[in-house]
Chains A and B, each alone.
Chain A
Amino acid sequence: MAATNPSFMNGVPELLVLRLLRNGEMYGYQLVQAIRDETGEVVSLGEGVVYPVLHALEKSGAITSRRRAVGGRSRIYYALAPAGVSRLSELTSLWSRITGAVQQVLVGEGDAEPV
């Protein structure tokens, strides 16, 4: 299993969760597996810490939750809310600018625009 990488993770779990929920509702375990699979295990969360991210996103209105019984078990499923769509758009744009700016520095072009 890949080690977790907390120092570069600020804001990344929110971005990944919102992006993955755009494909459809999921519960916490599914989300963690999806993050691991989709990122080729490069991004690896301490699995339990995805829930504070989900609770905070729900509190901000970006996602909604509902309890569903599946296979004899009751689970809390999360889905993207309209406010989450615009939040995802903002975060995606910010992330693209940050990675673009860092890339510029790494290849030595300098003069990155302030983010």
Chain B
Amino acid sequence: MQSLFDGLSEQLLRGGVGRRHARRYVAELRDHLDDLIAEEREAGGGAGGLEARALARLGSAEALAGAMIARRELKAWSASAPVAAWLVAPSLALAGGAALAMAGVVAASTWIGSADGVVMFSNAVLPVGLGWALVALAVRQRSAPVWPIAGLVVLAAAGAALQVEVSLPSAAAHGEIDLAPTLASLPGLAGFAERVALNLALTLAPYIGLSLRRAAQTGAGRAA
């Protein structure tokens, strides 16, 4: 019985059902099954077939999963609007995060110290951090790999293309903070390619590792 509900939970998530709905559905089905078993017991049926009869009344795993997966309104955002969830939103978050960090530097009383931090945060930490958030979402939601991988590639490219640059003010010149595309020159292109490769390595590796671990756990659950 436990394996029925574990398997159903996996099927729902793979079908794109939102985690909250999937979890609650499985909990409600467990309660419903308990009620059906109690009803069958009261009706005086043979003890041997109690569970089987209750399960038959509850519905097959395919019917239970299919009824939920067919409801578009119960899908997770990542399944119902994959382009927005995997491609657009992370890039917007990247640009927004970099803009906020730059605004923080401008608002700070002194640029010295905060400037290095903002460059590091915007150019290195933010793209990788957002990539890890996508990885966590993909693994939790059991998403098919196409969208998460596309999202990580787009994010790695956007993170490498948009670089925050800070020039500290001196006696002769004012300071400058800039969010600039790095693809305008050949040296810029080489640096871009390096940064894409680094961002991808830092985000794809955990994704592949966690996905393999999840697949092994699911396989072990089925075998048990």
Contact = CB atoms under 8 A, between A and B. Distances in A.
Interface of A: 1, 27-29, 32, 46-49, 51-52, 55-56, 59-60, 73, 75-76
Contacts of A73: 31
Contacts of A28: 28, 31-32
The prevalent SS among residues of A at the interface is helix
A59 B25 CA distance: 14
Contacts of A1: 57
Contact of A51 (B29, B35, B36): B29
B63 interface: yes
B64 A48 contact: yes
Interface of B: 21, 24-25, 28-29, 31-32, 35-36, 57-60, 63-64, 67-68, 70-71, 73-74
A29 B25 contact: no
B73 A49 contact: no
A51 B59 CA distance: 12
Contacts of A59: 73-74
A75 B31 contact: yes
B74 A55 contact: yes
A56 B71 contact: yes
B62 to A, nearest CB: 11
Contact of B63 (A27, A32, A49, A55): A49
B31 A48 contact: no
B21 to A, nearest CB: 5
A46 B59 contact: yes
B31 A56 contact: no
B41 to A, nearest CB: 15
Contacts of B71: 52, 55-56
Given A28-B32, A76-B24, A76-B28, A52 B57 contact: no
A29 B63 contact: no
A51 B25 contact: yes
A48 B24 CA distance: 12
A27 B32 CA distance: 9
B184 to A, nearest CB: 48
A49 B67 contact: yes
A49 B28 CA distance: 11
A48 B59 contact: yes
A49 B64 contact: yes
B67 A48 contact: yes
A31 to B, nearest CB: 10
11 contacts: A29-B36, A47-B36, A48-B32, A49-B63, A49-B64, A49-B67, A51-B28, A51-B68, A56-B71, A56-B73, A75-B31
With most chain B CB atoms within 10 A of its CB, the pick from A27, A48, A51, A59 is A48
Contacts of A52: 25, 67-68, 70-71, 74
By Cβ-Cβ distance, the 3 closest A-B pairs, closest first, are: A46-B59, A49-B67, A48-B59
